[in-house]
Structure 1
Amino acid sequence: MSMVLALGGAAAATWALRGGGDGGETDLASSTWVDMRAEVGVKAIEELLARHTQAVKKKDLNAWMADVDQSDAAFAKRQKQLFDNLVKMPFSDISFDRTKLPARQLARFLPTQLFDRYHAAVHVEAVTIRHRIEGVDSKTVAIPWMPVVALVKGKWRIVGDAAGKDLPLGANGQPWDSTGPVAVLRNDRVIAVVSVDDAERGRSLLQLAETSLKQVAEVRPTGWDGKVLFTAVQDKRIFDTYFAESQERVAQVAAIAVPYYNQVGDWASSPAYSSTRVVFNPTQLTAQPEELAHDLTHEFAHAAMGPVTTARTPRWVVEGFAEYVAYKKDKVRADGIRNALGDLTISTLPTDDQFYSEPRNYVASWLANRMIAEKFGEAKLIAFYEAFQNVSEVESAARSVLGIGVSALEQQWRDYVAQQRG
């Protein structure tokens, strides 16, 4: 403690560190002084991150590990695997940039065991990994990373990872975060990251993905990059990361499309959309090819509409459109629709709050989107989707694009569903 105080003196910045047994989300335990002036501690950490950037670009493991505290053998092993996975990724550019956030905001993510081990001179950093995937990204994608750094023998080193349910979206959920080695497979428009042991199965998945992407491009040929990166590793933790607040939904979801921006969404007020990544639930990788193809097409449709999807776009539009694209070439019989809908009452379009609580809302929303495409034309369906960039009410979007109000739209939907049920 006296050594740390000597480093900073009265000019040092204060770091609030939390204690407890749950990964750092309990009451304030203590405040310590660490010199984080721009010309001292901040500069040292920024230089560390710059060395990390160069280590990945030059594929230099020794340079990467030189800034990692290797006293914990298990953590050192994970860092070597992280590096090995990172250098397999086809980055056209990458950088690790320190993001300035209040210390108290980050302190709650400090694992208690790291505080106990390193005492005063330890804290969580907010790092933005800015990168582009070669042949996929036309814009820079920002990913959050929250390493724990500590003063070890007078030098700042990476000693662990932040923990907690409220980590920013995407933290610990990237393909390179897999605890096992990954393989990167690609064709002209799709990059698939799979576990090394799944490389052979991954090639079949890549072929399905190419067909699915072609199906999406026939509906949405412009307005997006037309290329996708998807993750299908066996490390279930990667997929579960996106359901920290709703673990009960994990088993119900085959894959998820994750939008990313030019800044980390949780750390910025107005980030601009960059790209959508697709992450597979590893429990679904043994599904039948037809089911996998449907899931891929659905998620790729989300990627295609990512640039025009906003917080105002209703869930029934977002999910129903993706199902419309996935089912477009299928002949679905009336008895299949009846079985899928069961006794679901078709009255008003589902609200966002209730959408995911009823799986059959996917079917009902698919029929709503298909009805719009059949009655008004596919171009009008897309225009209706895009209208929510400027309006928040279905009433306004329906009147401006379809020429009818929401009451008439819902009545047409009810009539259409009744007809499809037979």
Structure 2
Amino acid sequence: MPRARPRVRPRAPRVLLGLLLCVLPAGCGAPAGPGDTAERDVRQAVADWSRTPPERLAGIPLEGWSYEVGSVRREGDRAATARAELRYRLTGYDTAPAGSARELALAEEGGRWRVTADRPAPGALPQLWDQGAVTVARGAHSLVLGGEGRSPEALAGIAAEADRAVPAASAAWPRPWAGRVVVLVPGSLERMAELLGRPADAYRGLGAVTTGQVGGGPAPADRVVVNPGAYQELSEQGRRIVLTHEVTHVATRAATTATTPLWLSEGFADWAAYRDASTTPAQGAPALARAVRRGETPGELPATEAFAFGGDPEVAARAYEGAWLACRLIAEKWGEAALVRLYEAAGREPLPNALAGALGTDFDALTRAWQESLREELG
């Protein structure tokens, strides 16, 4: 949400944004019969064609590039459409294949079928390379893929910033994780919105968001998606805070589940981003400070709905600021190790149990301590 300071911009609440995979509706045309020789030839043509990634992907470290054809529909005697699932990995980053639902157009010429077009299936989200040429920048801990119009120099700068964010996130989250990050930099805000499947206004003013699957288990690496316009407007410190926040989400992904309170996941990412900064609570939480000075100290820790995209920006700002200060309080009062233990426990068990085990307190006592700290530091 827009803020007066170089503030970390929130990711989408733990909702799977579907960057890589969509469920497809049925297509049009006549389905090929089970004994249709043309269907067999179409499938073979897709298999032959998919053995080598397209030239426009040169430079992207890909492995396991393949198309699994789900259905074939004839479009007359010499045309066909195949629905397929593209599978691939970004070498050194994805621990499981990423997926993308595709629609391939084929034509028959001289008795042979060939692929003439490859596009996102209806209802599916595009890949970055569907939007044009992709430029690649590599860092020590990062892989940055830039969309059309992104300069190599700008991408190299983002890779360097991501390389600084990775060790900062690791210092805040001293648990095993990949220690590397994939960053996508689309050509514009509108292109970013296309990748994420939401209106552009949902991301206007946000520096970056993170996509990924919560919880453990095999899954492709998260993608940090940068809003190029908003990110460019940030100061150097603002860019560092944005990327450290998002990279912290990547680092904590395996410990984050549907039971993790949003105030804890967002507050922890902000705490990691500000952990080594000299930012005071009043500087870092201006919206909440204004409310406290009006005598409007929050009655409870931020609710999930307060973090929603497209809502009241003032409400969202207070929610993120309050979540940060709650995690900051826990780290100062109970210790950083206790905050990490609370995060881990909150992803496995109900919050009351996690609070009792990690902090030796309950929700009401934590809330009162947080309110008191808000009045002391912001009032």
Structure 2 distance, partners of 1:142, 1:338, is 38
Partner of 1:87: 58
User: Unaligned 5+ residue runs, structure 1?
Assistant: 1-24, 57-82, 108-114
CA 1:259/1:35 → structure 2, altered by over 3 Å: closer, same or farther?
Answer: same
Q: Note if contact 2:88-2:98 (Cα within 8 Å) is conserved in structure 1.
A: yes
Cα deviation for residue 44 of structure 1 reads 4.2
CA 1:410/1:233 → structure 2, altered by over 3 Å: closer, same or farther?
Answer: same
Partner of 1:110: none
Q: What are the superposed Cα offsets for residues 384-408 of structure 1, whole Å, 9 maximum, x if unpaired?
A: 11223322x3223222322222111
Q: Note if contact 2:119-2:130 (Cα within 8 Å) is conserved in structure 1.
A: no
Structure 1 distance, partners of 2:76, 2:213, is 34
Alignment pair present for 1:418 and 2:342: no
Cα deviation for residue 120 of structure 1 reads 11
CA 1:335/1:162 → structure 2, altered by over 3 Å: closer, same or farther?
Answer: closer
**Structure 2 counterparts to residues 9-408 of structure 1, below 5 A:** 32-35=29-32, 37=34, 40=37, 43-56=40-53, 83-91=54-62, 93-98=63-68, 100=70, 122-123=80-81, 125-134=83-92, 136-137=93-94, 139-150=95-106, 152-153=108-109, 155=113, 157-159=115-117, 161-162=119-120, 166-167=123-124, 171-172=125-126, 174-179=127-132, 181-195=133-147, 197-259=150-212, 272-287=218-233, 288-337=235-284, 339-341=286-288, 342-343=290-291, 345-356=297-308, 357=311, 358-360=315-317, 361-391=319-349, 393-408=350-365
User: Unaligned 5+ residue runs, structure 2?
Assistant: 1-23
Task: Give the letter aligned to residue 386 of structure 1.
Answer: E
Partner of 2:12: none
Q: What are the superposed Cα offsets for residues 276-321 of structure 1, whole Å, 9 maximum, x if unpaired?
A: 1111012124222221111111111011011221222222111111
Give the number of equivalent residue pairs.
Answer: 341
Q: Note if contact 1:149-1:157 (Cα within 8 Å) is conserved in structure 2.
A: yes
Q: Note if contact 1:388-1:397 (Cα within 8 Å) is conserved in structure 2.
A: yes
Q: What are the superposed Cα offsets for residues 57-91 of structure 1, whole Å, 9 maximum, x if unpaired?
A: xxxxxxxxxxxxxxxxxxxxxxxxxx344221022
Q: Note if contact 2:143-2:181 (Cα within 8 Å) is conserved in structure 1.
A: yes
Cα deviation for residue 160 of structure 1 reads 5.1
Cα deviation for residue 355 of structure 1 reads 2.0
Cα deviation for residue 410 of structure 1 reads 1.3
CA 1:188/1:245 → structure 2, altered by over 3 Å: closer, same or farther?
Answer: closer
TM-score by length of 2: 0.78
Deviation larger for 146-155 or 377-386 = 146-155
CA 1:369/1:340 → structure 2, altered by over 3 Å: closer, same or farther?
Answer: same
Q: Note if contact 1:313-1:385 (Cα within 8 Å) is conserved in structure 2.
A: yes
Q: What are the superposed Cα offsets for residues 171-190 of structure 1, whole Å, 9 maximum, x if unpaired?
A: 31x443332x2321112211
Cα deviation for residue 197 of structure 1 reads 4.9
CA 1:204/1:371 → structure 2, altered by over 3 Å: closer, same or farther?
Answer: same
Q: Note if contact 1:260-1:277 (Cα within 8 Å) is conserved in structure 2.
A: no
Structure 2 distance, partners of 1:228, 1:161, is 26
Higher helix proportion (structure 1 or 2):
1
Deviation larger for 321-330 or 347-356 = 347-356
Structure 1 distance, partners of 2:43, 2:346, is 40
Q: Note if contact 1:316-1:351 (Cα within 8 Å) is conserved in structure 2.
A: yes
CA 1:151/1:189 → structure 2, altered by over 3 Å: closer, same or farther?
Answer: same
TM-score by length of 1: 0.70
Cα deviation for residue 41 of structure 1 reads 6.0
